[in-house]
Chains A and B, each alone.
Chain A
Amino acid sequence: MEPTELPSREKKQGEAEQGPAEAPLAMPKTAPPREDVTPLQLFWEFFKIGCFTFGGGWSIVSQIEQNYISRRQWMTSQELLDLTSVGRSLPGVMIGNVSFLFGYQIGGLRCGYACVLGIALPPLLILTFVTTMYSMLQGNPYVLHAMTGVRAAVAPIILSAAAMLRKGALERPACWAVAAGAFLLSLRYNVGSVQLVVLGMAAGLAVSWWDKRRGGRPHGAA
């Protein structure tokens, strides 16, 4: 399994050396690969995140944004959106997928596995506890009230993730239309995320083709 991570790293390093002028296809602010982050560190980072992933796993996006994009700039918000949409459209547990993709991009396969293990362990430990205390916790009013408060926090947490990701998502005017379309399709017609991602791909190709035909701005310009 190890050799597979080498090409991607070498490629990334090559990119960084080329600089922005020679890499018109790359995103302008692609973060350099992290050589200094060990799988163990990532495991611990994601273990901490795993203790607070309420609300269908979306808050992981919000925590990654806060911890690694706003503060430490390990990645651009566009790259996080890319990971999210790829992870969301593959089968399985979404936070497992997003964690893996994040770890892989930071430091290859081993970091990817470290992130999945880190994010999955807290729910396992906490639910082991909850399952054994099930009958005690079930009707406890204090637990219920505290959890009502926690649930009230979930929508704002995801909203804050959306607010931070907005700039990377809506880089061209046409993107607003795509976002509005996806929003309506999901909200009104319950269209699944896989279908939305596929529709988004088609829309992206159409938008880029239209821009090119009109001789507008060069590809990839933000």
Chain B
Amino acid sequence: MVLLELLWSFVKIGFTSFGGLSMIPLISDEMLSHGWMTALEVSDIVAIAEMTPGPVGLNCATFAGIRAAGLAGAAAANLGVLLPSLTLCAAAAVFFARVKDSELVQNMMVGVRPACFGLICATVLKLGATNYSGPALPATAAIGLLDVLLLLKLRWSVPRVLAVSALLGLLLVH
């Protein structure tokens, strides 16, 4: 029952990771021990996950699922990795909706909001450090600056900005 194995593997991955690149070691372990991917494919999937929309977790689930058992495998693996969102997060949402107007939670949120804001700002710098380095540097920095202008001054939508950036990448990066 490769479908059940896929489902169970990704349930484990989903419940024990907190999104993004923190999933990679877990995914790598599960993929290698089941023989669903080689070590090289795991590093490729990280690159693919960055190239395509969607988070690393879902993309790995699809890739490994298709390799192991076709489309049904992909569906099973996606379901597994999304199970925390569908259960734990659902419970948290119901709970949070009840308590969010209480004084205690409101007081906590006064600190959680700026902490989350600080985290977002740190993410910008971390991503910037990796995405604006290497041989393509002058071009990527120029695209980045233009995008800041398009987003903040001209209020362009995210899809339009991504399309323009991809086009500029084709034209400017050699």
Interface residues of A (CB under 8 A from B): 4, 7-8, 11, 15, 23, 25-27, 48, 50-59, 61-63, 66, 70, 78, 81-82, 84-97, 99-101, 104-105, 109, 112-113, 116, 120, 122-124, 126-128, 130-132, 134, 138, 142-163, 165-166, 168-172, 175-176, 178-187, 192-194, 196-197, 199-209, 219-220
Contact = CB atoms under 8 A, between A and B. Distances in A.
Interface in B68-97: 71, 74-75, 78, 81-86, 88-90, 92-94, 96-97
Interface of B: 14-22, 44, 48, 50-59, 62-63, 66-67, 71, 74-75, 78, 81-86, 88-90, 92-94, 96-98, 100-104, 106-128, 131-132, 136, 139-141, 143-144, 147-148, 151-152, 155, 157-159, 161-162, 165-170, 172-174
A88 B170 contact: no
Nearest to B110: A204
A154 B131 contact: yes
Given A50-B53, A91-B84, A187-B122, 4 more contacts: A84-B120, A97-B19, A145-B170, A162-B120
B111 A92 contact: no
Nearest to A5: B94
A220 B84 CA distance: 32
Contacts of A181: 115, 118
Contact of A85 (B18, B21, B51, B112): B112
Given A85-B116, A123-B58, A131-B67, A25 B21 contact: no
Q: What 8 pairs between A and B have smallest CB-CB spacing?
A: A149-B169, A123-B54, A204-B111, A200-B115, A92-B84, A182-B118, A96-B85, A203-B111
A27 B16 CA distance: 33
> Interface on chain B toward A: helix, strand, loop, or mixed SS?
helix
Contacts of A196: 115-116, 118-119
B58 to A, nearest CB: 5
A109 B90 contact: yes
Given A196-B115, A202-B111, A149 B165 contact: yes
Contacts of A58: 120, 123
Contacts of A8: 94, 97-98
A99 B20 CA distance: 15
Most buried by A among B57, B81, B118, B167: B118
A124 B77 CA distance: 10
Contacts of A163: 152
A169 B116 CA distance: 8
Contact of A165 (B71, B120, B174): B120
A131 B107 CA distance: 47
